Amino acid sequence: MGNHVFANYGEVVAMLLFGIGFTNLLLQKNMIKKIIGLNIMDTAVYLFLAEKGYIEGHLAPIVVNGDLNPETYINPIPSGLVLTGIVVSVSVTALMLSLTIRLYRRYHTLDLDEITTRLKKEGR
């Protein structure tokens, strides 16, 4: 067990980060902190993917000097996935931030629960 963990320390760190991000997104009251949690969570996944795709001593999968031997390069697919994932997470983060700005302008607080109680009090 111990040596497995040690051999795959990158994945272990990724999972820890994922857990941290997940709990933050779930439990933080402040919306900005929630968004930070979201980003930690997503980054952890990219770390995981990158760690999986990396092969010790191989190059980035960009052909520069005509070397077409696949042994030279690392697995390109996880890198592609990471890129796609980053696009998704950026757009989601932007959406979340814009929502936060909206709510802050209207209610002058970043605490989602407080907004909810206030809305309930308004009775609308």
Judged by the rule CB under 8 A, the positions of this chain that interact with other proteins are 18, 21-22, 25-26, 31, 34, 38, 41-42, 44-45, 48-49, 52, 77-78, 81, 84-85, 88, 91-92, 95-96, 99-100, 102-103, 106-107, 112, 115-116, 119, 122, 124
What letter does residue 70 receive in the DSSP assignment? G
User: Of 26 and 60, which has the nearer Cβ to other proteins?
Assistant: 26
**Minimum distance from residue 123 beta carbon to other proteins (Å):** 10
d(CA 13, CA 5): 10
Q: Whole-number minimum distance, CB 30 to other proteins, in Å?
A: 12
Q: What is the rounded distance in angstroms from the CA atom of residue 115 to the CA atom of residue 113?
A: 5
Q: State phi, psi for 94 to the nearest 5 degrees.
A: -60, -45
Say if residues 35 and 93 touch (Cβ distance below 8 Å): yes
Q: Nearer to other proteins by C-beta: 13 or 92?
A: 92
